[in-house]
Structure 1
Amino acid sequence: MKTTFLILALAFSTLVVAQRPSKEQIKSLKIAFITERLDLSTKEAQVFWPIYNDYDKSMQKLRRQERKLLTDLKENFKTISEKEGDTALSTLSKFGQDKLDIRESLVTQLKNVISSKKILTLLKAEEDFKHNLIRKLGGRKGRGGPRSNSPNGGK
């Protein structure tokens, strides 16, 4: 297990330093990261991954829609009407609720497959992976470092 984790960490570091990883590479790294953290039995994995993949697809779709709305708002911010602003706020609120609903559905489905502790481990592993990815990618091209315009220097 430790060896697998070290190999994954090394592969992740090498990949990030060498080039900007593709979505497929990131997905593969995420699967390996979660697999390592959860230590699923073969039986658990057979049931877990289809449920998790459906959850992940739903969340990706929702995040794409949210990003599109935010991009549109950014591009048209100066000309947006009050009514359009109200609609955008409602939509953003709905996105937040939809994310909670999707996550709640995941937890409910997984309770029949893996232990509550493994579900919590999954949620933590997702956050850890995201933070590691942001840290690794953010350090490139001047991103992710301390912000000089923030009061505490980005800390």
Structure 2
Amino acid sequence: MKTPIIYLFTFLLSCSALAQSKLEKIKALKVAHITEQLDLTKKEAEAFWPIYNAHEEEKHKHFESSMKKRKDLDIEKLSESEAEALLKEMQANEEAKVKSEKAFIEKLSKVISYKKIVKLMHAERTFKRKMIEEYRGRHREARKD
């Protein structure tokens, strides 16, 4: 009786480790891509990465908060007042994101040039595009099999 539970636990643990490993690999690829694109000096990199990582964490928290609310949402059962409250909350979340982005740029401008900040934004877009293309390519191959 205990053996199947142990196997299940081991399986779930290994799945979790694989997912974590993939996320870490993607983060490492993103760091490499940004590093290559920005051509940071050692001094710039030492100041840049803590600011960047803190901002990424904050963006992730905004995203998770937003997703939690939408995940359990049954739009058909929303009252008018609930819909209004939800829209106001969504607007407040968007405003918080904009405020966070402004603060991020302000902090970055003290350690790297504005041109490098623009390069950073471009690097993030190109990395995202590469990841989407990679994902699509793998799914095309999977469908062929």
Q: Give the TM-score category using the shorter length.
A: 0.7 to 0.9
- Report the count of equivalent residues: 122
- Aligned counterparts of 1:98 and 1:139: Cα–Cα separation in 2: 35
- Aligned counterparts of 1:62 and 1:102: Cα–Cα separation in 2: 10
Which residue does 1:28 correspond to in 2? 28
Q: How does 1:90-101 map to 2 (within 5 A)?
A: 90-101=88-99
- Aligned counterparts of 1:85 and 1:140: Cα–Cα separation in 2: 39
Q: Using a 3 Å threshold, how does the CA distance of structure 1 residues 132 and 45 change in structure 2: closer, same or farther?
A: same
Q: How does 1:121-140 map to 2 (within 5 A)?
A: 121-140=119-138
Q: TM-score, normalised by structure 1?
A: 0.72
Which one has the largest radius of gyration?
A: 2
User: Percent identity among equivalent residues?
Assistant: 37
List alignment gaps of at least 5 residues for structure 2: 1-17, 141-145
Over the aligned positions, Cα root-mean-square deviation in angstroms equals 1.9
Which residue does 1:50 correspond to in 2? 50
- Aligned counterparts of 1:61 and 1:138: Cα–Cα separation in 2: 27
Which residue does 2:105 correspond to in 1? 107
- Aligned counterparts of 2:115 and 2:68: Cα–Cα separation in 1: 35
Q: 1:134 deviation in Å?
A: 2.1
Tell me the secondary structure at the aligned position of residue 114 of structure 1.
coil
Tell me the secondary structure at the aligned position of residue 72 of structure 2.
helix
Deviations 1:35-74 (A, max 9, x none): 110010000000000000110100011011111222222x
Q: 1:135 deviation in Å?
A: 2.5
- Aligned counterparts of 2:138 and 2:76: Cα–Cα separation in 1: 32
What amino acid sits opposite 2:126 in the alignment? Answer: D
What amino acid sits opposite 1:38 in the alignment? Answer: L
What amino acid sits opposite 1:87 in the alignment? Answer: A
List alignment gaps of at least 5 residues for structure 1: 1-18, 143-155
Which residue does 1:5 correspond to in 2? none
Point out the structure with the larger helix share.
Answer: 2
Q: Using a 3 Å threshold, how does the CA distance of structure 1 residues 57 and 140 change in structure 2: closer, same or farther?
A: same
**Which has the higher mean CA deviation after the structures are superposed, 20-29 or 44-53?**
20-29
Q: TM-score, normalised by structure 2?
A: 0.77
